[in-house]
A and B are shown apart, each in its own frame.
Chain A
Amino acid sequence: DGGITQSPKYLFRKEGQNVTLSCEQNLNHDAMYWYRQDPGQGLRLIYYSQIVNDFQKGDIAEGYSVSREKKESFPLTVTSAQKNPTAFYLCASSMGAEQYFGPGTRLTVT
């Protein structure tokens, strides 16, 4: 079955630690995205990549970093510079208009 996988589903970290969220897709999509969702709010774009080895900042890139070394993988690192990292993180991919979303990772930093 084709789709997007994100792991883990729940992640707990101590303040000051960097953490990497995984996103893998086997849909052969060129474009991949990372969004952050806070309770009762919409989806805010962190980073996106339209092709391997290239990515662009979204609206809230500060405190985050990404890499796109393979077409199927787009990991997101939440660094210690991110002031309020606790949130629900969604990865998506697309080939054209429709974006397909993964199940998300809920990150809690204490």
Chain B
Amino acid sequence: QQPVQSPQAVILREGEDAVINCSSSKALYSVHWYRQKHGEAPVFLMILLKGGEQKGHDKISASFNEKKQQSSLYLTASQLSYSGTYFCGTEIPETSGSRLTFGEGTQLTVNP
């Protein structure tokens, strides 16, 4: 079952903050976050494991609420380079270590 991402799109001014959510109807083993710039390959940002702690990557961090089967990606003090489409990929226990199911993505635009 494909995870649901929200919002579908967000426009920011440089320096503003944003939150992107990823929800699943299934119990999750892990959540992976990727960023894809237009016409390029997706690039791995971070992974959150069940029972793990909140992760951080420069000014981008994420959390994983196991009870709600939801992950949130936090972008603080956004930079122009943050523009792109953000995807969450979810892993369920039954197929952990083998495959991800990706959401439809959230398009983030950071303007000067």
Contacts and interface: CB of A to CB of B under 8 A. Distances in A.
A99 B101 contact: no
A90 B42 contact: yes
Contacts of A33: 99
Given A90-B41, A99-B44, A58 B30 contact: no
B42 A41 contact: no
Contacts of B42: 43, 90, 101
A45 interface: yes
A49 B82 CA distance: 32
A31 B44 CA distance: 16
Interface residues of B, number: 20
Contacts of A43: 42, 87, 89, 102
Nearest to B42: A101
Contacts of B30: 97
A19 B100 CA distance: 26
A1 interface: no
Contact of B99 (A40, A58, A104): A58
A84 to B, nearest CB: 17
B98 interface: yes
B109 interface: no
B53 interface: no
Interface string A25-63: 000000101010000111111001010000010110000
21 contacts: A33-B99, A40-B105, A41-B104, A42-B102, A43-B42, A45-B99, A45-B100, A45-B102, A48-B99, A50-B98, A56-B98, A90-B41, A97-B30, A97-B47, A98-B47, A99-B44, A99-B89, A100-B44, A101-B42, A102-B41, A103-B40
Across the A-B interface, the 8 shortest Cβ-Cβ residue pairs: A101-B41, A42-B104, A43-B102, A42-B102, A98-B44, A97-B47, A101-B42, A42-B105
